[in-house]
Chains A and B, each alone.
Chain A
Amino acid sequence: MIEATTRYFGLHAQNLSGALGRLLRHPLGSLLTVLVIAIALALPAGMRVFLTNVGALSGSWEGAADFTVYLDDAVTEERARELAGEIDARADVDQVDFISRADALEAFRAQSGFGEALDALEDNPLPHALVVRPDQSAVDEMQALAESLDALEETAQVQLDTEWVARLRAMLELVERTVDIVSALVALAVVLVIGNTIRLEINNRSTEIEVMKLVGGSDGFIRRPFLYLGFCYGLAGALIAALLVAAALALLEAPARALAELYASVYTLMGLGWRDTVILVGGGAALGWAGAWIAAARHLRAIEPT
C-alpha cells in the first residue's frame, strides 16, 4: 500500500519534473507561450486591482449617498430625536444620526476656523439635522425616500446628490461586468493557447505515443505528461501575470501618492492581495490543465500504432 502510494506520487513527481524539463529544453518557445498567457491573464487581473482600488476609494465617498435633512428652526430637540427614531424604523433606511444644532456648531467651529466670528453671533444659526443613510437594497428608491422625507412637516430642506451616486454606481457596475466578460474571454483564450501548444506537442511526439501504446501504456499514463505540461504553462503564465500586475502597481505608486497628497489624503494603492494571487495562480494552472485535457482528449486517440 505504502509502496504503491509512493510509486504513484513518484510517477507524478516524475511527470512534473519531465514537464518542467521539456519547458526548459526549448526556453525561447516556452517563454513566448508563457508570456502570451501571462499578458492575457494580467489584463483581467490588473482590471480587478483597478476596481478594488476604485471600490475602496468610493467607499470613503459613500457618505455622499446620505441624505441630510435640515429641520425647521421651530423643531425642539426632543421632537428631533423622536423623528430620528421614526425614520430609522423605515424599511428603506439603514441608519439615522441625529446632529443637534449645538453639536453642529461645535463641529463647525472646530473645522471651519471661523470660531471667533461665530462667537460674535448671539444665537446659534444652525438647525438640528438628521443624517439618513438609505438601506443598500433601496438604492433605486432613493428618490422616493427623499420625497417622503421632504414631505414631513418638520423638514426644512433635504439635501442629496442622488444622480451623482447613481452614475458612479452604474459606472462601477458596468466596469465590473466588463471585467467579468474580459475574464471569461481571457480564460477561454488561455485554454485555447495551451490546448494548441499541447496539440503541437502531441504531434511532435506521435512516435513516442505510438510506442507507449504498443507496450501497453494506458490512456491515463500517456495523457499525464501532457496534462502536466499544460499545468506548467498555466502556472508559469499566472505567476508572471502576478509579477506584471505588481510591476504595474509599482510604476503607478508614485503618481498615485502624489495625487493623493494633492487631495490631502493618505490613500495607498492596493495590490492583488493574497487571496486574489492564489485565485490567479490556481486559476492559471487549472486553465492550463483544462486546455491540455481538451487537446489530449481530442488528439491522443487519433494516434494509434499501425
Chain B
Amino acid sequence: MIRFEDVYKRYPNGREALGGISFALERGEMAFLTGPSGAGKSTLLKLIALIERPTRGAVIVNSRNTAGVSRRSVPGFRRRIGVVFQDHKLLHDRAVFDNVALPLVIAGYGPRETGRRVRAALDQVGLRGRERDAPITLSTGEQQRVGIARAVASRPDVVIADEPTGNLDPELSLEIMRLLERFHEVGVTLLIATHDLKLVEHLGHRTIRLVAGEIAADGLAPGGSEPHRPTTPDSTSPDRHGSRYRD
C-alpha cells in the first residue's frame, strides 16, 4: 500500500532529510513513525502526500509510483489519501459540517451523499450533532477529531497523520490514537508520525524509528503487547491493549 525503495530526499538548501529509506506498509497495516525532531518524519509523510518529491528512489502509494503522477494528477492522487495535521488545519470561517464535507465536495459527491458521509464520519469521531458548530467553539481535542473526520470522510485507502497528538494532553492523546486505531480496524492503512514514545509503547504497533534520515529500527515497539502482524484487521479487538496508559 505504501512502499519506499531506497528513497533519498535532499532539499534545495542542501539539507539531506532522508538518506536511503526502504520499507513497506501492507494494506490495512498500522504503523508509527518515530524519531527525534529533524529526523525526517515529516519529510517522509510529505513524500506520500506528494507535497514533496523524492530526490532519488521510488515512493509507491496505492500501487502507484509517485514519480509518474504529473502536477495535474496530484489532486486526484491526494483524494485517495487522508491527512491529519498537528494543527488540524480547520477552516474557521465555516461550520464543522462544511469542514468535513470539503473533500467530498471536491470529489464531486452530491449534497445528499455528502451529508450522509459527513454525518457518518462525525458519528465515528463522536461528534454527532455538532455539525453546525463553529470549529473555534470546540476544544482542541474536538477540533482534532473534526480533522480526523475530514481525513476519513471520503473513505481513503491510506491515512497519514503528522503529530496528531502534538498539542494534546496524554489523556486526549490516547483518545485520538484509539480513534485512529478504529479506522485501522476497518482496513485503513495508517502511518502516524509522533514523538510520544510512551504512547507508542503503550499501543504497541509496528514502529519505524528514524534517526538522521535513516531507519534506525523497524518492528514492534518495545513494551507492546502483541507481535507485529502486517494485516488481518478483523482479528484485532478494540480493547486489546488494556488501559495501562491511564494509570
Q: B111 contacts which chain A residues (CB < 8 A)?
A: 10
B150 close to A (CB within 8 Å): yes
- Bound complex: CA A304 to CA B111 (Å): 28
A216 touches B110 (CB 8 A): no
Point out the residue from B49, B107, B110 that lies within 8 Å of A214, measured CB to CB.
B49
B91 touches A217 (CB 8 A): no
B78 touches A214 (CB 8 A): yes
Stretch of A43-51, A141-149, A181-189, A204-212 with 4 or more beta carbons under 8 angstroms from chain B: A204-212
B102 touches A211 (CB 8 A): yes
- Bound complex: CA A6 to CA B106 (Å): 15
- Bound complex: CA A178 to CA B171 (Å): 74
Are A218 and B75 also in contact (CB < 8 A) when A7-B108, A211-B102 are?
yes
A211 touches B91 (CB 8 A): yes
Q: B residues 19-70 with Cβ under 8 Å of A?
A: 49, 51
A122 close to B (CB within 8 Å): no
Are A304 and B150 also in contact (CB < 8 A) when A207-B91, A212-B102, A217-B75 are?
no
Render A1-25 as a binary contact track against B, CB cut-off 8 A, 1 for contact.
Answer: 0010011001100000000000000
- Bound complex: CA A306 to CA B87 (Å): 13
A216 touches B91 (CB 8 A): no
Q: A6 contacts which chain B residues (CB < 8 A)?
A: 110
- Bound complex: CA A166 to CA B49 (Å): 72
Residue of chain A at shortest CB distance from B151: A215
- Bound complex: CA A6 to CA B79 (Å): 22
Render A202-236 as a binary contact track against B, CB cut-off 8 A, 1 for contact.
Answer: 00000110111111111101000000000000000
A215 touches B91 (CB 8 A): no
Closest chain B CB from A84 CB (angstroms): 74
User: What count of chain A residues pass the 8 Å CB interface test?
Assistant: 21
B107 touches A216 (CB 8 A): yes
Point out the residue from A10, A208, A215, A306 that lies within 8 Å of B78, measured CB to CB.
A215
Q: B79 contacts which chain A residues (CB < 8 A)?
A: 215-216
B161 close to A (CB within 8 Å): no
Q: B91 contacts which chain A residues (CB < 8 A)?
A: 207-208, 211
A305 close to B (CB within 8 Å): yes
B126 close to A (CB within 8 Å): no
B108 touches A214 (CB 8 A): no
B89 close to A (CB within 8 Å): yes
- Bound complex: CA A221 to CA B78 (Å): 14
- Bound complex: CA A11 to CA B101 (Å): 13
Q: A208 contacts which chain B residues (CB < 8 A)?
A: 91, 93
Interface centre among A10, A207, A213, A217 (most CB of B within 10 A): A217
Q: A211 contacts which chain B residues (CB < 8 A)?
A: 89, 91, 102
B223 close to A (CB within 8 Å): no
B204 close to A (CB within 8 Å): no
Q: B89 contacts which chain A residues (CB < 8 A)?
A: 207, 210-211, 214
Q: B108 contacts which chain A residues (CB < 8 A)?
A: 7
Residue of chain B at shortest CB distance from A304: B51
Closest chain B CB from A38 CB (angstroms): 28
Please name 25 pairs of A and B residues whose Cβ atoms are closer than 8 Å in the assembled complex, sorted by A. Answer: A10-B110, A10-B111, A207-B89, A211-B102, A212-B102, A212-B106, A213-B75, A214-B49, A214-B51, A214-B78, A214-B83, A215-B79, A215-B83, A215-B106, A215-B150, A216-B103, A216-B106, A216-B107, A217-B75, A218-B75, A218-B106, A219-B75, A221-B75, A304-B51, A305-B51
Interface residues of chain B, those whose CB is within 8 Å of chain A, are 49, 51, 72, 75-79, 83, 89, 91, 93, 102-103, 105-108, 110-111, 150
Interface residues of chain A, those whose CB is within 8 Å of chain B, are 3, 6-7, 10-11, 207-208, 210-219, 221, 304-306
- Add 15 more A-B contacts to A208-B93, A210-B89, A215-B79 (CB < 8 A): A3-B110, A7-B108, A208-B91, A214-B49, A214-B78, A215-B78, A215-B83, A215-B102, A215-B106, A216-B77, A216-B79, A216-B106, A216-B107, A217-B106, A221-B106
Q: Which 3 A/B pairs are nearest by Cβ-Cβ distance? A: A216-B79, A216-B78, A215-B103
